[in-house]
Amino acid sequence: MLKTRIITAILLVICFSVALFKASEMGWAILTLAATLIAIWEWSNLIMLSKRQMALNVMTALSVGLLLISSSNMEIGFYKDELVFSLLIVSTIFWVGFAPVWLISRKKINNKLVMALLGLFLLLATWQALNGLQNISPWLLLGVLSTVWLADSAAYFAGKRFGRHKLAPEISPGKTWEGVAGAMLAATLYGLALCYYFHISRWLIVGLWLIVLLSIMGDLFESLLKRQSGKKDSSQLLPGHGGVLDRIDGLISTLPLVLFYIYFPLFANLQLHVR
C-alpha cells in the first residue's frame, strides 16, 4: 500500500509540476477546472445526492467556471473580480468562523441543497485560488502547496512513529497530536530554510504555522464528511490516495485564504478607483 501511495504521489507531482510551469494561463485554468469538477462530483457523492443532482451540481460548477475563464475576453472583467472576491470571502468566513464550531459539534447537516452550495463555493474558491496564485507566481503557489504537502507527510510519519494521543478520535482516529507536532516542526524547518536563503523575515514562519493549522482543519472536515457518509475515501480514482478530494482537502482550507490575504487590498483599491 505504501509503495502504491509513493508511486502515485511521484507521478502526480511530476504531472502537476509540468503543468504548473509549462501550461499557458488558459491551459492551467482548464486543467485545474477539470480537477475541480471531479472533486465536486466526489463531494456530491459524499453528501449523497442522486445521480441527477450530482450531474446538475457539476454542470453548475462547469457553467460558472467557463464564465470566469471566458470573462477575460468579455466586458465583465470587474464583475469577475467581484465574483472571485465573493468566493474567497465566503471561503474565508467559513473556515475561520464556522468550520471550527462544526468540527467540535460534529453536527450533520441533512439539507442537501445547503451542502451542495457549500461544496460549490469552497471548491470553486479553491480553483480560483489555484489560478490567482499561479498568475502571481508559480513559485508562490508551489511554496504554499509545499507547506501543506510537507506538513501532511510529516504528520503521517510522526503519527505512525510517535502517535499516542488522538487528535479527533470521533472524526479521524488515525490523527494524533504527535502528528500535529511533526507537521509544525516540518513547517518551522521549512520556513527557516526559506528565510535564510531568500532573506525573508522570520514572521513567515508564523504564516506557515497558520497554513498548517488550516490544512489540518480541512483534512478533518473532509474526514467528517466521509465518516458521516460511511465512506473510507471520496473515490478510488488515485491508487493509494483515494480521490481528488482526498488529495486537496488540506488545500481547500488554505489556498483561498492565502489569496484572500493578498487580494483584499487590491480589490479594495479597485473598488475605490471605480467609485
Tens-place pLDDT, residues 49-108: 999 999 999 999 999 999 888 875 544 444 567 888 889 999 999 999 999 999 999 999
For residue 126, pLDDT over 60 is answered with yes
pLDDT of residue 39: 96
pLDDT of residue 78: 46
Q: Average the pLDDT over 131-153 and give the result.
A: 94
Taking only the tens place, the pLDDT of each residue in 116-125 is 999 999 999 9
**Mean residue pLDDT across the chain:** 89
**At 272, is the pLDDT very low, low, confident or very high (cuts 50, 70, 90)?**
very low
| All structural domains of the chain with their residue ranges | 2-274
For residue 274, pLDDT over 60 is answered with no
CA 145/CA 130 separation, integer angstroms: 10
- pTM beyond 0.95, yes or no: no
Taking only the tens place, the pLDDT of each residue in 25-53 is 999 999 999 999 999 999 999 999 999 99
Name the β-bridge partners of 230: none
Task: Give the CA distances from residue 141 to residues 69, 108, 200, in Å, rounded to whole numbers and listed in that order.
Answer: 19, 33, 17
Q: Average the pLDDT over 162-175 and give the result.
A: 92
